């Protein structure tokens, strides 16, 4: 008998590349990565029917990316592996495992590439949603698919590629206005806030309060919820009716933070899917999601993120590892 909570499909749009990770001890390791690709892999490992619209080359790095996607049952949209070369992101880790990124990347998809794909949820994020020339095509795909699908978005800001914060904020907020669900880290929002005027001298507005205000502003633009992740301090969902729900993060020994936010994002999509809240015909229900459901979804997302940071690279857990097989 088919489980209704397992039915449907997801389309993820965005970069698939190779992460070159440089560690404080001087060692260098190479992993397949890219924020949207990581989200697709997370969904595949959670047992979801997921396709990825991306661009990588038929080279050694591309072979690594393809194999990694296939291992997690991620299907490729036709044309995704026809780029002249595969992009590379170099992640330099500090003593805490946090990563600073440098990119050698090209992003140039066509809106027509998604023709014939009819998902219940479409996700994009990071570089793919804002970097020309492909970013405009991504926006057109989201606009065309919103009539059928839930739209989810993770800005996953990359200052090295997105230019100044003001330009990035304008591009990101175009996508926020189309999205039903937005997930962003507090670090993303802190960087984007540099594009806005600082509090006047003598005011007592903290950075945390400014981050919360930006998240609430985004929630008021249309999304059902905007989730802000805060590393070891947990996560908070801000709803478009003005209230919020927070959860704590599990305590864990951190190997590195590569892919942690992407794992959280895949868990967020999967949790809302399990709750029967994806697809445009459930948009009204999603906008009236109850606090208990949100808290349960976020707690599971936090556990998924904790497992990811406990091991090297972008390596999200399977449903079996979560004890849900």
Longest alpha-carbon distance in the chain: 64
Residue 314 lies in a domain: no
Q: Does residue 247 lie within any of the structural domains?
A: yes
pLDDT at 143 over 70: yes
**Residue 6 pLDDT > 80, yes or no?**
no
Query: According to the model, what pLDDT value does residue 3 have?
Result: 62
Q: What CATH number did the domain enclosing 251 receive?
A: 3.40.1190.20
Average pLDDT over residues 281-292: 96
Find the helix or strand (DSSP H, E) in which 38 lies.
Answer: helix 35-45
Q: How many domains does the chain have?
A: 1
Contact 223, 192 (CB under 8 A): no
d(Cα 177, Cα 94) in Å, to the nearest integer?
Answer: 35
- Give yes or no for residue 276 having a pLDDT over 60: yes
Rounded Cα distance between 81 and 56, Å, is 5
The per-residue pLDDT for 1 is 41
**Tens digits of residue pLDDT in 222-240:** 999 999 999 889 999 999 8
> Is 76 a domain residue?
yes
Tell me, yes or no, whether 269 lies in a domain.
Answer: yes
Residue 175 lies in a domain: yes
Q: What is the DSSP letter of 69?
A: H
Res. 28: pLDDT tops 70? yes
Question: Please, is 269 exposed, middle or buried when counting C-beta atoms within 10 Å of its C-beta (0-12, 13-18, 19+)?
Answer: buried
Distance (Å) of CA 322 to CA 8, 110, 270: 21, 37, 13
Domain holding 107, by residue range, is: 7-309
Residue 325 lies in a domain: no
1 in a structural domain: no
CA-wise closest residue to 269 among 179, 169, 158: 179
Whose tokens are 């595969």? That residue is: 86
The rounded distance, in Å, linking the Cα atoms of 288 and 277 is 10
In this predicted structure, what is the pLDDT of residue 306? Answer: 85
Cis omega before residue 213 (within 30°)? Answer: no
- Arithmetic mean of pLDDT over the chain: 90
Q: What average pLDDT does range 118-137 have in this prediction?
A: 92
- Whether residue 318 is contained in a domain is answered as no
What DSSP line would sit under 176-197, residue for residue? Answer: HTT-SEEEEEHHHHHHHGGGSP
Q: What is the pLDDT of residues 72-115, one digit of tens each?
A: 999 999 999 999 999 998 888 888 877 787 888 889 998 888 88
């Amino acid at each position: 008998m088919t489980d209704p909570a397992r039915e449907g499909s997801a389309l993820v749009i965005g970069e698939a590349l190779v992460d070159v990770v440089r560690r404080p001890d001087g060692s260098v390791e190479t992993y397949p990565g890219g924020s949207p690709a990581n989200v697709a892999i997370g969904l595949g490992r959670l047992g979801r029917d997921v396709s990825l619209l991306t661009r990588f080359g038929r080279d050694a790095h591309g072979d690594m990316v393809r194999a990694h996607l296939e291992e997690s049952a991620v299907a490729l949209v036709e044309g995704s592996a026809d780029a002249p070369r595969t992009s590379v992101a170099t992640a330099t880790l500090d003593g805490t495992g946090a990563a600073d990124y440098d990119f050698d990347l090209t992003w140039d998809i066509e809106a027509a590439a998604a023709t014939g794909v009819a998902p219940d949820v479409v996700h994009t994020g990071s570089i793919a949603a804002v970097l020309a020339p492909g970013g405009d095509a991504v926006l057109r795909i989201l606009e065309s698919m919103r009539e059928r699908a839930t739209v989810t978005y993770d800005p996953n800001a990359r200052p090295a590629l997105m230019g100044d914060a003001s330009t990035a904020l304008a591009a990101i907020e175009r996508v926020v206005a189309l999205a039903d669900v937005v997930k962003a880290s507090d670090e993303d929002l802190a960087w984007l806030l540099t594009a806005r005027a600082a509090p006047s001298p003598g005011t007592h507005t903290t950075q945390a309060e400014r981050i919360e205000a930006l998240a609430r502003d985004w929630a008021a633009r249309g999304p059902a919820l905007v989730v802000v992740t805060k590393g070891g301090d947990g996560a908070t969902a801000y709803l478009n009716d003005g209230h919020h729900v927070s959860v704590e993060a599990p305590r864990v020994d951190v190997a590195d933070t590569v892919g942690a936010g992407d794992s959280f994002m895949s868990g967020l999509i999967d949790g809302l899917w399990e709750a029967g809240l994806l697809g445009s015909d459930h948009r009204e229900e999603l906008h009236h999601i109850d606090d208990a459901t949100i808290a349960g979804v976020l707690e599971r997302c936090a556990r998924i993120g904790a497992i990811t940071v406990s091991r090297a690279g972008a390596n999200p857990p399977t449903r079996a590892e979560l004890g849900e097989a």
